Chains A and B, each alone.
Chain A
Amino acid sequence: MLMEAQSQQQATKTHQYDAADVVLDCQAKQIFYSDFLAVRDSHVPIVKNKITGFIGPSGCGKSTVLKSINRMNDLIRGFRFEGNVHFHGMDIYDKKVDPVSVRRNIGMVFQQPNPFSMSIYENVAFGLRLNRYKGDMDEKVEKALRGAALWDEVKNKLKNNGLSLSGGQQQRLCIARAIATEPQVLLMDEPCSALDPIATRQIEELMVQLKERFTVAIVTHNMQQAQRVADQTAFFAVDISRGGRTGYLVEMAPTAELFSNPQEELTKEYLHGEFS
């Protein structure tokens, strides 16, 4: 009964999409870190060749949901995901699914830049080598670096260690590393938080280009950014009513609709607070 009621409620919150357009359907019933219920009842469909933005206050579980989508959280002790994530007709949490293959098809850019301690070139070539890419490596590396708006800054020092770059450059290197293998879906956790406005714009342009071929999900604290790039926006909030601090999806809709005409009171308040 309760489940039914919840899924009813769910249906009203999440805008309905044509099933054929949804490349990745994330239905998170409950996400735990050990005993701590971090996220509940969040149905986030990710539409193909579109950018899906995740917004919401700090600690509401945006990163948690995002990482659940490519099973990054498997590495955390005590992590438990209840629900399913449909990707190409398979549930990626199915026992038969190899999480390594999932991660090769669903790329990730993390909140903190985390290049490998190896040359800039090798950082970008890393995923290609992992997939035993046989073609012109130099060309792929250059293309990825150009895509991440980093090429001009590093083209003369590709042999230098990736860690010798500035924070913002490191983040763009991580973006280049992630797009070099051309994953079908790219998850980005606040990719621009360490970047200056120019690099941020470049990355936003990149995302818009990327969506022609890939699908992107991006977490951002920047409402303007969400409005600029996201086609769909999911708003999460923290529910403290049941004693814990559990995040959940409040509302998801096409971006323009969500910002101009939010259905939920909470969304209104949050957007109002952000803009005032």
Chain B
Amino acid sequence: MKNSSNETFHLPKLERQPFEPRALKSIVLSSITILSAVFACVPLFSVLIMLIYRGGKRLSFELFYALPPTAFETGGGFGNAILGTLFMVGLAALISVPFGILAAIYLAELGKYNKVAQIARFCAKTMTGLPSILAGVFAYAAVVLIMRNYSAWAGGIALSLLMIPVVMLTAEEAIKMVPQAMKDAAFGMGCTQTQSLVKVILPVAMPGLITGVVLAVARAAGETAPLLFTALFSDYWLRVNEPTASLAVLIYNYSGMPFENQIELAWAASLILVLMVFILNIISRAIGGKKRI
């Protein structure tokens, strides 16, 4: 007869059991997630590699200061398009950042529960899904037809229409993420609404605000359709009241041309556009990162 106390007493198995069903399941599942994550990077890297391969060989200083070549010319660059993109995206940011952030403050704090805020939020959400070409058509009707000319202004305004909802909705999220307890503390100390926003809420929300602005700028910098109706293109240096070149429209125009030189320039312009967005991302991380907790 066995000792009963011996029978009930088991040493717990603490060693790993890699071939048990639950261990196998977890190995399989985590491998799938890793694979999916890796797969998500494939498109980005293939685009990057292709851009570096096809556009990299034309990279030179000439690109930045020369004007676009004519049909059978060799060489040339697209300094005017870089300048045009910077100007129009800059203008769009100048309009959409203050506007979007102020609207977000209303949505997230001041008018949290009221109808106006709900309607504004709904409109912004709808606008993020707006086909970008419609922003172009709108700016064409609202600016180009009235000024009677294609211009950098019209281009900037068209881009700002696309940026506002992105800035607004990401900023709203960022402000909402600030813990309620911290907001309470600000009021408890005797802050007015403005003081609590400026001294407590916005500094904490800053990394999120910056991320939103960068996302919006990156989106605007690559948009072609809204500029086709508003800024058009130009072979000359930036004059704000006249048709204006941009990298996106240059890529669109030149990639379809039957000339080797222009096609090469289109690749180089694509590479530079991607690099510009990339650098912006890094700068914003450097700024936003400092503020992080």
Contact = CB atoms under 8 A, between A and B. Distances in A.
Given A117-B203, A163-B293, A127 B179 contact: no
Contact of A126 (B181, B189, B203, B204): B189
Contacts of B112: 77
11 contacts: A75-B183, A75-B187, A100-B190, A101-B190, A107-B189, A110-B185, A118-B203, A126-B189, A130-B199, A178-B188, A178-B189
A114 B191 contact: no
A93 B181 CA distance: 23
A181 B112 CA distance: 31
A129 B293 CA distance: 22
Nearest to A77: B113
A114 B184 contact: yes
Nearest to A102: B190
A130 B187 contact: no
A70 B188 contact: yes
Contacts of B204: 117
Interface in A83-111: 100-101, 103-104, 107-108, 110
Given A75-B183, A103-B188, A177-B189, 16 more contacts: A103-B187, A104-B190, A107-B189, A110-B181, A110-B185, A112-B181, A114-B182, A116-B186, A116-B200, A127-B189, A130-B189, A130-B190, A130-B191, A130-B195, A177-B185, A178-B189
A115 B189 contact: no
Interface in B277-293: 293
A69 B244 CA distance: 62
B118 interface: no
Contacts of A161: 293
Nearest to A129: B199
Contacts of B179: 114
B241 interface: no
Interface string A51-87: 0000000000000000000101001010000000000
A80 B192 CA distance: 20
A118 B204 CA distance: 9
A204 B293 CA distance: 31
B95 to A, nearest CB: 30
A110 B188 contact: yes
Of A72, A114, A161, the most chain B CB neighbours within 10 A belong to: A114
Given A77-B113, A118-B203, A103 B182 contact: no
A174 B191 contact: no
Nearest to B112: A77
Interface in B183-222: 183-192, 195, 199-200, 203-204
Nearest to B291: A117
Contacts of B199: 126, 130
A186 to B, nearest CB: 11
A56 B195 CA distance: 36
